[in-house]
Structure 1
């Protein structure tokens, strides 16, 4: 039988990556295409077609497709999503003031119904008359519903009855809070459920368009989606619980790093063009945000990787401060289009201008900088002020030198606003250009990079001397600065993880002495207790020096540039279910969670049912999520202190975790 190929797809902010992966041979082929924000399926099809062409493999050998995406995260950050109706069972209107729920709700409708349960799963009678009255009209004005019941994690019966009624009348998607989290905290669970309901139609469109494309290509196999904690769920489950895919991309990169390096413990740093993402791998698993993922300013109950993002990348703006006796170089947080890339795309425009500026006897304020439209649809340029519109009309799809575009300081501020709106790119020198001068990179136009750095090197510091003697000298200064700033952001993330976030590496004299090995009677040293894994297409040229500065072992896997897409296909399906046992009265034991509440007078019988329920539900959920042969483990946490010499059960929690590899279609 032919070896299965697994197709991994990652839709990032700039590029969509695709890999074909073999469980025996590793990465067989890799490809990139520009992400198409208006229709993600276009970028996906571009990347998949390219990877299939590179591998020269028939589609019949593909046995699994897995997708990691930033779509849900971007939607929540940008305040997008459908209109959802929120139904609160057993809550009062003042509960909306907690956990940012009212703010998140905005103008979406909310209904309050009598009902709900207490901590032991005992019900208050449910009254659905207000729902029956409102449903016919509500169903015409929302795209989905969110249902949150008081203590529904202990007894979901009321949520399930309300869901059945809404589906019967409206035929719209319904999310229940007990399906998303077993944690207590009703308002935050309601918030998470509301956000999930808003995302349902959006993720449904993405997965649907991806599935349609795959079917057109004859790739009719199971499709998985990466969850925010790095585990895989079936596309069908992702459609029901899209909120679980927030931070899917960063989670996939960590899973990919673990797989490509074989390391159980590591600091993982992923450098892109615009940002650096830093996270910690512990015990073979990504460290999760213990309090729930924060996205779009709201803290949810979704388990997701603890990832810190910094505005520093290979295409960061190089900022030269020449006001002091010695000039200072800083990078970011803005992204520039590298001169080497701009010239590769527009050689007839960029190089002649740079050559003219180099020949000029005096340095100009805007030497080595150009403006070019980003190419977004015209409708996104609506609402510009007259001076913004006038400047925007002068800028076209071909880079225009700033020395001919800007006549006044006010125009510079106007240009910055156009950049902030995402309408215009500034082209200028970046670390990528420095690497082209030093020979570390060569995919674009090194001649333009060299001219750009030659112009910048003529900048004079406070003593009247040029800040660098040659383009190579300036390139080394820029790369040294990227090494230090990268070390700072990695240290910041690790110190925060250690609970020492008050130490700021950028201003600490002790950290400076340690990183630069400053000699002295007192020696300062810094070291990471685990290897530094560098990811991203440019990781091989930057991370060896960064790891050395941090006193860490450097590990840059061969496929560092497509780690996200690899992580999408090598992950495991993993589901956890918690069942509780409480004692409301002496000798009475209530089992809650994963079904209706059950009452016992024998603690051992209650515990036995709780364990069986948790394990059965976890296995069922893992299979529903696409696991082939899931294995289940059980942990228990029993809170039963001695009170006046007698043991009193406060609460017992039994958590079953089922995990396994996803089902793979048979190769033809």
Structure 2
């Protein structure tokens, strides 16, 4: 297909791998300081070598020590990460250790200074180790993608979406896969901007498992200044600032131990979806006839089950083996399984098997609510209604009333997601759920009652741009509750793909100029240079920075590009002679960014 000249890929693979603890075994060589906390390395060795914060040599490397440390890791790791204290001020030691690692070990090598120019030794080290863990995962993804493209006779340039929504080349993605974390949500945000033409708004991307919310201002998405946090690890990766909530089209709707209606955060298979392939589930669900009080609530007869991704562990009980055997050919309801075992359904707790991945749960979801209401009927409406009828009986209310209550609960939860996101983007430090006073005012506004003396109101100052397959159905009501416009663009369900295709290649480099004993030090990601004057340092910073950016954009296939330069003073409070604090300039930071279109 010669008419296709570019293929853009957005992926959640890196994010999921970090969250799930998957990836290559990484050996870490670090120097210059002790690590503040644990890092995700399989082996770690501290060696001699240190530069101070100005990039001046304090302690040299010991070549024999490094060689011995690397040889001890040979055959035990699949990647090497190298991190040195103040390496962003002088990368010489990291580059030397990296060179030795490549010579002695046939594995990928990652140096921390190549990934970020931000200070913070521990977080920079974590970023380097995670990058090493992801290299084989992303490389396999790229190989598989290219195989599929070849099968379809597509010989186009392959680009990958970064966590800030911009694009990078295949070669860069292989070396810096850590930059793909949060790639999926970022592509969705870029897609929403391209589809609507809006420059201001709250972008709400509702998927099957989560709802991701981003803040767009003046046509750009807000970037997390300190770096993205994924799977409990703080990184120095620049990514779109997202608020993520466990609310999606596949979130489980159930009753808790007190009989209260709950939504998520667990993801399940919708009854309507699985019921479309296995219509016998409708008969099994309809066979439920019990009413009245229930002693327990962890077992819910609206649930059905099918095999999960993991096998039964060794030492599984007889009844666990029987359940696995019954589900081998097709899924079944909890009522059916309990009947075959000869036990009461409310005493059969299959949650441990679900949590261990042996079983997957099928249950009532927001998607089933839409089917029951007739709003969305792609799959089996009867299966959705059968499950919802069971929950309504548990609540001892008509099915129509239960549907209204469940719909109201989803709408209010969606509105709360928007409110909490707005507070987070305002950097308020407030978590509404932790404040009964705040929740009273919010619930009073979302669910006003005539008998209350106090009337409160709440609103968002920007419109909600809703994308993702189920978003339009739920975001509109949330917008009404929050007094703001809701925009659902045409083709909202493919905003992610559109964003991946609409992105541009952007590369940024940061350089620091600082004064040291009458000399001016230029710290670049590739070297430390001593200059006689500030003007000389600025000249080399701009010249070398632009050349670096142009080289990357040219290799990416860009024919034209725009390069911007931005400088700012680095200020810090220092003690004056009289003991008081005063603000002093500690140096100048130059940020050079280039943007180009690969088409």
Matched, 1:67 2:2: no
Q: CA deviation at 1:412?
A: 4.6
Aligned to 2:378: 443
**In 1: Cα distance, 2:15 partner to 2:469 partner:** 23
Matched, 1:634 2:569: no
Aligned to 2:187: 252
SS in 1 for 2:512: strand
Deviations for 1:643-667, whole angstroms, at most 9, x for unmatched residues? 78x9975211111111122x23xxx
Aligned to 1:45: none
Q: What pairs up with 1:23-38 in 2 under 5 angstroms?
A: none
* Distance change (3 Å), C-alpha of 1:238 and 1:380: farther
Aligned to 2:505: 573
Aligned counterpart in structure 2 of residue 467 of structure 1, from 371, 374, 397: 397
Q: CA deviation at 1:364?
A: 9.8
CA contact (8 A) 1:491 1:505 kept: no
Aligned to 2:238: 303
CA contact (8 A) 1:139 1:172 kept: no
CA contact (8 A) 1:90 1:116 kept: yes
Aligned counterpart in structure 2 of residue 79 of structure 1, from 1, 6, 21: 21
Aligned to 1:167: 102
Aligned counterpart in structure 1 of residue 38 of structure 2, from 97, 100, 114: 100
Q: CA deviation at 1:413?
A: 5.7
Q: CA deviation at 1:356?
A: 3.8
Deviations for 1:473-502, whole angstroms, at most 9, x for unmatched residues? 332222121101111122122212221423
Aligned to 2:306: 373
Deviations for 1:428-465, whole angstroms, at most 9, x for unmatched residues? 333222211222101012233334334433345xxxxx
Q: CA deviation at 1:581?
A: 1.0
**The 10-residue stretch of structure 1 (280-289 or 67-76) with the greater mean CA deviation from structure 2:** 280-289
TM-score when scaled to structure 1?
0.81
CA contact (8 A) 1:180 1:241 kept: yes
CA contact (8 A) 1:614 1:654 kept: no
* Distance change (3 Å), C-alpha of 1:398 and 1:543: same
**In 2: Cα distance, 1:558 partner to 1:332 partner:** 28
CA contact (8 A) 2:252 2:265 kept: yes
Aligned counterpart in structure 1 of residue 336 of structure 2, from 376, 394, 404: 404
Aligned counterpart in structure 2 of residue 590 of structure 1, from 488, 499, 521: 521
**The 10-residue stretch of structure 1 (367-376 or 555-564) with the greater mean CA deviation from structure 2:** 367-376
CA contact (8 A) 2:2 2:154 kept: yes
Aligned to 2:62: 127
Aligned to 1:488: 416
Q: What pairs up with 1:307-326 in 2 under 5 angstroms?
A: 307-320=242-255
CA contact (8 A) 1:579 1:593 kept: yes
Aligned to 1:501: 430
Aligned counterpart in structure 2 of residue 148 of structure 1, from 79, 83, 86: 83
Number of residue pairs matched?
581
Deviations for 1:346-395, whole angstroms, at most 9, x for unmatched residues? 12x123334444xx58579678534332453xx53334631533433333
**In 2: Cα distance, 1:169 partner to 1:99 partner:** 29
Q: CA deviation at 1:633?
A: 0.6
Aligned to 2:178: 243
**In 2: Cα distance, 1:412 partner to 1:71 partner:** 38
SS in 2 for 1:112: strand
Deviations for 1:99-125, whole angstroms, at most 9, x for unmatched residues? 433xx22xx333333334222222343
**In 1: Cα distance, 2:527 partner to 2:507 partner:** 20
CA contact (8 A) 2:284 2:336 kept: no
**In 1: Cα distance, 2:63 partner to 2:127 partner:** 23
CA contact (8 A) 2:445 2:457 kept: yes
Q: What pairs up with 1:542-557 in 2 under 5 angstroms?
A: 542-557=474-489
Aligned to 2:164: 229
Deviations for 1:554-602, whole angstroms, at most 9, x for unmatched residues? 01111211221211111121111111111121x3211111443222332
**In 2: Cα distance, 1:412 partner to 1:307 partner:** 40
**The 10-residue stretch of structure 1 (135-144 or 67-76) with the greater mean CA deviation from structure 2:** 135-144
Structure 2: gaps of 5 or more residues? none
Aligned to 1:196: 131
Deviations for 1:16-72, whole angstroms, at most 9, x for unmatched residues? xxxxxxxxxxxxxxxxxxxxxxxxxxxxxxxxxxxxxxxxxxx22211111111111
* Distance change (3 Å), C-alpha of 1:477 and 1:522: closer
- RMSD after superposition: 2.8
CA contact (8 A) 1:311 1:334 kept: yes
